[in-house]
Amino acid sequence: MKLKENERIDDLQYKDLKIIQNEKAFCFGIDAVLLSDFAKGVKKESVVVDLCSGTGIVAIMLEAKAEIKKIYAVEIQKEMADMCSRSIALNNQQKKIKVLNEDLKNIESILGKASIDAITVNPPYKKVGSGIVNDTDTKSISRHEILCTLEDIIQVSSSILKVSGSLYMVHRMERLVDVIATMRKYKMEPKRIRFIHPTVSKAPNLFLVEGIKNAKPFLKIDTPIYVYDEEGNNTKTINEIYHIKNER
Amino acid sequence: MKLKENERIDDLQYKDLKIIQNEKAFCFGIDAVLLSDFAKGVKKESVVVDLCSGTGIVAIMLEAKAEIKKIYAVEIQKEMADMCSRSIALNNQQKKIKVLNEDLKNIESILGKASIDAITVNPPYKKVGSGIVNDTDTKSISRHEILCTLEDIIQVSSSILKVSGSLYMVHRMERLVDVIATMRKYKMEPKRIRFIHPTVSKAPNLFLVEGIKNAKPFLKIDTPIYVYDEEGNNTKTINEIYHIKNER
């Protein structure tokens, strides 16, 4: 496998999975790993779409964690979709994961309405506004709603999901209101939320949410995830999600 | 002070405040105490409305904690409003707190549109449905949305609040989606949330939210409240809110 400039191969420390990332582009964080764990309860033999797939981290991890029929990894940026394809080849996941280098606003016409069992998405977190140096910069596109908005994502998800299909999303707490209100607007009822706190004494900064198409309102809250303990080490929960054996 | 059948006087353990409660009716819980603490940052000399006031616990505590010009305690149930009036007399709070024994759906005509600085509400938590024995039972009315719904509360609040006025609410986590979506519908943008967990290892079961009329979206999350520690004792945060001196 020949790498392009600034690319490196990272070991995902799970089932020998690898991922190609570009040091100058957006590299995955804990949010993507937590999302793939949150979505692993997806029904067997599901057809899944991973939106805003980037380097494919969520699709790659989820395929290894759950018995899935097919995952479509949708990524609009050509160089990111290309890295994703090569990572999938590196992991021998070509039969299960198919990369779609497409604008998510076009995927309804490709995949069809009400055809998908579940969707995962780790979207750009920030609204377009301050802090963007360059609209065509790949890091800005991964972080800001330049090429798609939260509403685009939820609208497309509601359209391509079957009734009772699940949308699994991770987002920042400051956008909780936007996520909840927009999900309800498109009949993707938020049914389960898990909050992620840096430590026990800090407010949550991220949340995981499962919205179910056309479901009745009633929200279940999972136990919280605390990332670090008081000494700054990973908590047991985090080590379990990362498949790190506790040594003590 | 002569008490009626099944009534008792409880000491609030703060500034000699007392409250009359009826043992057969709904008695206040930790949610009301946390709400009065959450709302104590209200601007000086505010005119405040406490909706679904019940025995007046939130109004009584808030008046003692903040420099408020006037609190209208709105309660539809005659016997509850009557207990509230007598508690206010007992505490010499008559100049500051006025009881309105009214349906909250009528208060816009009494108080006027865009006339109020802040609102507190500890509403009935449950939707009308299973578990109601008797629609006229005072406990059922306090617990279920029989005489007013969440939407009534938020709609009335939005109507009587000034622009940038605050609505402080406590509610159950299972209704988070309803609260957030309905607040946004009536331009009461949720700007601050604080989650309440029974213990560190449990999911939050209650939340406090401040919605601000016509504000721009951006949610701030406060540090969480854990009620009990691992030994089942009150946490330091709870003792501080309850003004209990830590003995250890």
Please check whether residue A190 touches B, CB under 8 A: yes
The reply to whether residue A181 touches residue B181, judged by beta carbons under 8 angstroms, is yes
Please check whether residue B24 touches A, CB under 8 A: no
- A244 contact partners, CB below 8 Å, separation of at least 6: A13, A234, A238
The three-point CA angle A242-B203-A36 to 5° equals 30
A123/chain B closest Cα distance in angstroms: 17
Please check whether residue B230 touches A, CB under 8 A: no
pLDDT of residue A131: 64
pTM of the shown model: 0.94
Least confident of A23-27, A183-187, B75-79, B189-193: A23-27
Render pLDDT for B22-60 as a digit per residue (tens, 0 to 9).
998 888 999 999 999 999 999 999 999 999 999 999 999
The reply to whether residue B177 touches residue A184, judged by beta carbons under 8 angstroms, is yes
Please check whether residue A239 touches B, CB under 8 A: no
Does pLDDT of A126 surpass 90?
no
Q: Which residues pair with B99 in a beta bridge?
A: B73
The reply to whether residue B201 touches residue A218, judged by beta carbons under 8 angstroms, is no
Taking contacts as CB-CB distances below 8 angstroms, the residues of chain B near A189 are 177
pLDDT-derived band at A248, boundaries 50, 70, 90: very low
B96/chain A closest Cα distance in angstroms: 35
pLDDT averaged over every residue in chain A: 94
Quickly list DSSP for A149-193: -HHHHHHHHHHHEEEEEEEEEEEEGGGHHHHHHHHHHTTEEEEEE
Digitized pLDDT (tens) for each residue of chain B, 248 residues in all: 789 999 999 999 999 999 999 998 888 999 999 999 999 999 999 999 999 999 999 999 999 999 999 999 999 999 999 999 999 999 999 999 999 999 999 999 999 999 999 999 999 888 877 666 666 788 888 888 888 899 999 999 999 999 999 999 999 999 999 999 999 999 999 999 999 999 999 999 999 999 999 999 999 999 999 999 999 999 999 999 998 876 54
User: Which of B127, B172, B177 should be substituted to probe chain A, the one whose Cβ sees the most A Cβ atoms within 10 Å?
Assistant: B177
Contact B74, B111 (CB under 8 A): no
Taking contacts as CB-CB distances below 8 angstroms, the residues of chain A near B190 are 177
Nearest neighbour of B180 by CB, restricted to A180, A202, A221 = A180
Which has the higher per-residue pLDDT, A139 or A179? Answer: A179
3-state secondary structure of B42: coil
Which residue of chain B comes nearest to A188, CA vs CA? B177
Taking contacts as CB-CB distances below 8 angstroms, the residues of chain B near A219 are 173-177
Element (H, E) at B194: strand B188-197
* Exposed / middle / buried, residue A107 (Cβ in 10 Å: 0-12, 13-18, 19+): buried
Of A110, A109, A112, A114, nearest to A98 by C-alpha is A110
Rounded to whole angstroms, the Cα distance separating B159 from B187 reads: 10
Mean pLDDT within A101-109: 96
CA B62 to chain centre: 10
Nearest neighbour of A204 by CB, restricted to B176, B205, B221 = B221
The reply to whether residue A202 touches residue B190, judged by beta carbons under 8 angstroms, is no
